[in-house]
Copies of this chain bind each other. A is one copy, B any other.
Amino acid sequence: MTLVLNNQEIEALLPMADCLPAVEASFRDLGNGQAVNRPRSDMYSPTPHEDARYVFKSMDGSLPRLGVMALRLNSDVIRWRGDGGGVRKSKVPAAGGRWVGLILLFSHETGEPLAIVPDGVIQRLRVGATNALAARELAADDASIYGLIGAGWQAGAQLMAMALVRQLREVRVYSPTPERREAFAAEMWQRLELPVHAVDTPEEAIRGAQILGTATSSITPVLDPDWVPPGTHVTCVKVLEVHPGLLERCALTVVSTRRRSPDSYIVGAGEEALRIHDPRSAIGLDSGAARADEDFDLSAMPDLPDLLSGKVKKPEDPRASTCFINVMGLGTQFAALGHLAYERARSAGAGREIPTDWFLEDVHP
C-alpha cells in the first residue's frame, strides 16, 4: 500500500528536535558522495488567473543509506507584486482555496512508491533545521539574542530550530505589520517558554543580536549590510533575501549547496532563452535587485557538508561575522524527512492508503 499523510499528521510525527539529525545525516551523505540531488527546476506557463503564472517546480534526491528516493514538486499559481520597496511573491490558493505541493517517496529496492505526502510542514522543518545546523557550527558559542526579520510560518520554524542549538535568552522579531509580529511573539513565547519581543523597526531586531535571521517572502534583499554588527551570524531562507554587500562584511559565508540557481523553462521565451537562471526578467519584473546567480559565485563557496565535516571552520576572531545562505531546497532534505515521516507513520498506523497496484504496470517501455 502507498501511504498518504497530511500536514497535521506529519507535524505530530516530526518534532523539530528529530529533524536536525535527519537533515544533518543527509548533508553528510552528500559530502561523502553517498547521495545525489537533482537541483530544482522551475517551469513557467500561462494560467487563466490574471497577472499570474502557473509554475511547476521539481527536485529529486536519493539517499542510499535509507534506501529511498524523493521527488518533491510544487504545482502553483503564483503572483508577484510590488510591495513598498521590494517585490513579493504570493501563491494563489487556486486549488479550491488550497495549494499543491507533494513529496513522492520511492524504494531503491522495489522501485515502488512508498508514500505521497504534502510538502508544507516538511518544507518548514527542513529550512529551519538546515539553518540551525549551520548556526550550531558558526554562531558564537554563547550567542543568546536572536534577531528575526519575518513573522510568518517559516519564521516560526527558524526560531524553533535555533532554540535547539543555542541557549537563547531573548528573541526580537520584526515584520511590517504590527498585529502580525505581536501575534507571532505571543505565540512563540508561549510555545518555547522564551522571551520573544515584537519590535517596531528592523534596526531594533538587529541591535545586540548575535544571531540574525531573515524569513520573509521578499525576492529582493531584506537586510541593509550596514546594520549588521561585528561578530554576528546571519541566516536567510533564500538567496534572494541576501544583499551582496553583506558577504563583504562576513569573514566566512557558507552555502547550503554550491549548485547554482534553478533552471527555469518559460513558455514563450523562445528556445534559446528557455534555460535561464533568473525568471524575474522574463516575467516582466525588473526590481533592480541583485541577481543571485550573477552577483554571488556560489560554486566557489564552502557548503554545509564542508562545515559539518570540519573542512572549513568558524573564524577564531569573535568579531568576525559569518553568513549562511540557504540557497534552495534539496531533494535529499525531502528524502530524509519524508523517510522519517513514512517510518513513523507506519509504526503509528497513521495516514490513508492507496493500493500500490494502482501505480504499477506489467509492461515497460
Contact = CB atoms under 8 A, between A and B. Distances in A.
B54 A98 contact: no
Interface in A341-365: 352, 354, 356, 358-365
A44 to B, nearest CB: 8
A56 interface: yes
Nearest to A62: B45
Interface stretch (A104-112, A130-138, A205-213, A307-315): A104-112
A153 B363 CA distance: 9
Interface SS of chain A:
mixed
A361 B56 contact: no
A49 interface: yes
A45 B69 contact: yes
Interface in A35-51: 35-38, 41, 43-49
A95 interface: yes
Nearest to A354: B354
Contacts of A108: 45-48, 54
A95 B75 contact: no
B47 A269 contact: no
B267 A361 contact: no
Contacts of A62: 43, 45, 54, 56, 265, 267
28 contacts: A7-B362, A36-B44, A36-B265, A36-B267, A36-B269, A36-B274, A37-B265, A38-B58, A38-B265, A43-B62, A45-B69, A45-B108, A48-B108, A58-B60, A58-B71, A62-B265, A94-B111, A95-B360, A96-B110, A96-B112, A99-B360, A100-B113, A100-B359, A102-B359, A118-B359, A118-B361, A352-B358, A354-B354
Given A58-B58, A100-B113, A109-B47, A7 B361 contact: yes
A305 to B, nearest CB: 9
A113 B100 CA distance: 8
A363 B37 contact: no
Interface stretch (A119-127, A176-184, A246-254, A317-325): A119-127
Interface in A259-291: 263, 265-271, 274
Contacts of A45: 36, 62, 64, 69, 108
B364 A120 contact: yes
A111 B76 contact: yes
**Which of A36, A64, A76 has most chain B Cβ within 10 Å?**
A36
Given A94-B111, A106-B75, A268-B33, A364 B99 contact: yes
Given A111-B76, A274-B36, A121 B363 contact: yes
A77 interface: yes
A26 B98 CA distance: 30
Contacts of A266: 36
Given A41-B60, A124-B365, 13 more contacts: A36-B269, A43-B69, A46-B108, A48-B109, A73-B104, A75-B111, A76-B111, A91-B364, A96-B110, A99-B361, A100-B113, A118-B361, A352-B358
